A and B are shown apart, each in its own frame.
Chain A
């Protein structure tokens, strides 16, 4: 029988590992819990200004393109692993949530999205490789809640929508499993920055999506362009109270690259970057750092209080290093650079697959006892700790090599 590898998670690490293995003629199945493959990184914006700043966002698009078009790779979205048993190979029970939009019939026309009366019930994808480009949210859809609405089903010109599709149990086999479930962004509601309370406080990931889809920075409260933006770093990273002692590594680079992009596209924008210390991981940091320091005001202190003031603005109090006094300034938009935390549900997945977790909660390659890899379970990407796009790709490459050795291909 031909070798087959199951990859759990279709973020940049999962996609990269799949590409490497498929290139060696190994069959790959990717299981993706959400409606769209590509993970967090497929939602990131290209941050090039007049030159490329090596953010890596395009590499994710490229990997996804290769994956969806590769005959050796099968992607199953809306699917999770329920159970695993192992004899010589792995037998996996999968649960596939209903795919209400039939990919064979859907032409991505967007009528469902336009006609849906409930905000967030029909969601859009992020990539041209997301097909269908639309998905129906089980949490928000009114039909799934109380059967009160079938507007999309009736409006679809291709009759591609069926809201009565049941959940489906599936099974599959694999010779090796790669766990590449990535990270969960820190939810900053517990931090005193009014996230969830004040509309113009957003996370760095929300800004990424905004820049990717709209191309400009808009205030959520009005939809008009933000003119004065504050970035607050290390929200949920380097925090003993949360037991998150790690640095999330990517946020300084991504926030400053986004700031540079905003300055290039909306030159009148005032940008302020509040930080502990700038983490200059990676060889590519200098590509943009010298220039961005001219465009962005860097303040080496994390702000304290934040209050809403007139005109949907936010008054932020922070230490001014020069005067050693606290200053109060108003911003249109406050962007919280939230940390990378262990993937939600990782503990259960790790138990099922007998993968060890470090004290941090991230998965660990070389913990105590027999490494999971000896039994055919491998780790790739940010499931093991914060990683950038290039690092995830490199990690997935190493993992693919280990898998090949394990399979004896």
Chain B
């Protein structure tokens, strides 16, 4: 097949990538990205090729391929890129171009759940509060932590912290580390009872609107609870 049969010059759309520091046209194909990428070679993934495909108008092919989803958005590529091409941002933008129901299962479902229920797990509020209080009770049994409780929705606290869903799922022990530190530091802190999700998978699906909704919820908590400091451990 000749190059002209697969390269669609009329489909070049640079305006879509105008937020980049430089156009992908700036790529000198040095290959530093691909040499440095920890995911190079997985299903043939090659960041240099991805950027070249975009600059050659093969956008639809890139959107349909698995490559943008193999990338972990770690951004080592753009750290080494001599031409300052924001490769991770390009990958994220390509992800945003895919139909939402074709976004890979787990992050798509997790995000849908978060938008609908306030957390990726669809964990009901009662169950969530029960888990937090249960963990607090376990801490209270430890020497030096007598009387420890978890301050949920505490108005006027100093710090608001979000919860990564795995901390109320398989990793409840990890909640304790944070809380012990708060206790030792005599910190005035709180957690929200709803919309507490600390991950924002819209970042990974490339969905800016959903990302705004997730972030907006945290901002709302800050206003309602009159908290000035946010601790958002992903």
Contact = CB atoms under 8 A, between A and B. Distances in A.
A304 B82 contact: no
Interface in A293-326: 300-305, 317-319, 321, 323-326
Contacts of B31: 276, 300-302, 318-319, 321
A321 B30 CA distance: 12
A181 B26 CA distance: 31
Contact of B30 (A192, A276, A323): A276
A304 B83 contact: no
Contacts of A277: 28-29
Nearest to B34: A319
Given A240-B22, A240-B83, A324-B44, A317 B36 contact: yes
Interface in A269-286: 276-277
Interface size classification for chain A:
20 to 34
A319 B40 CA distance: 8
Chain B interface SS verdict (over half) = loop
Contacts of B81: 241
A105 to B, nearest CB: 51
Given A240-B82, A326-B34, A276 B41 contact: no
Contacts of A192: 80
A305 B36 contact: yes
A244 to B, nearest CB: 9
A234 interface: yes
A97 interface: no
A239 interface: yes
Given A324-B46, A326-B40, A238 B82 contact: yes
A304 B32 contact: yes
Contacts of B35: 301-305, 317-319, 326
B170 to A, nearest CB: 32
Interface string B2-32: 0000000000000000000010001011111
Interface in B29-88: 29-32, 34-37, 40-41, 44-46, 48-49, 80-84
Q: Which of A192, A302, A303 gathers most chain B CB within 10 Å?
A: A302
Interface of B: 22, 26, 28-32, 34-37, 40-41, 44-46, 48-49, 80-84
Interface of A is mostly: loop
B42 to A, nearest CB: 9
Contact of B84 (A240, A300, A323, A325): A240
Residue among A238, A240, A323 with the highest chain B CB neighbour number at 10 A: A240
Contacts of A323: 41
Interface in A186-219: 192
A239 B28 CA distance: 9
A242 B36 CA distance: 19
Contact of B49 (A241, A318, A324, A325): A324
B218 to A, nearest CB: 34
Contacts of A302: 30-32, 35
Interface of A: 192, 234, 238-242, 276-277, 300-305, 317-319, 321, 323-326
Contacts of A324: 34, 40-41, 44-46, 49
B80 A326 contact: no
Nearest to B49: A324
**Which 4 A-B pairs have CB atoms at the shortest separation, nearest pair first?**
A301-B31, A304-B36, A325-B41, A304-B35
Given A276-B29, A302-B35, A319-B35, A241 B46 contact: no
Contacts of B44: 324
A301 B30 contact: yes
A301 B34 contact: yes
Nearest to A245: B83
10 contacts: A238-B83, A276-B31, A277-B28, A302-B32, A317-B35, A317-B36, A319-B46, A324-B45, A325-B41, A326-B41
A321 B48 CA distance: 10
Nearest to A305: B36
A296 to B, nearest CB: 17
Contacts of A325: 40-41
